[in-house]
Amino acid sequence: MKSFITASLLTLGLVSSTWAADTSSLLEIQQRWAQINYQIEGDDAKEAAFNDLAIKAQELVNADPKNPDDLIWLGIIQSSTAGAKGGLGALSLAKAAKKSFEDAITINPSALSGSAMTSLGVLYHKVPGWPIGFGSDKKAKELLVQSYKMNPTSIDSNYFLAEFLYDDGDYEGAKQHLDIAKKAAPRPNRPIADMGRHKEVDALMEKVNQKL
**What is the pLDDT confidence band of residue 24, given thresholds at 50, 70 and 90?**
low
Predicted pLDDT of residue 81: 94
Summarised one tens digit per residue, pLDDT across range 123-166 is 999 999 998 999 999 999 999 999 999 999 999 999 999 999 99
* Structure confidence by residue, pLDDT tens digits, 172-192: 999 999 999 999 999 888 899
State pTM to two decimals: 0.87
| 3-state SS track over the chain | CCCCCCCCCCCCCCCCCCCECCECCHHHHHHHHHHHHHHCCCHHHHHHHHHHHHHHHHHHHHHCCCCHHHHHHHHHHHHHHHHHHCCHHHHHHHHHHHHHHHHHHHHCCCHHHHHHHHHHHHHHHHCCCCCCCCCCHHHHHHHHHHHHHHCCCCHHHHHHHHHHHHHCCCHHHHHHHHHHHHCCCCCCCCHHHHHHHHHHHHHHHHHHHHHC
Mean pLDDT, the chain, rounded, equals: 88
Domains of the chain: 26-151 (1.25.40.10)
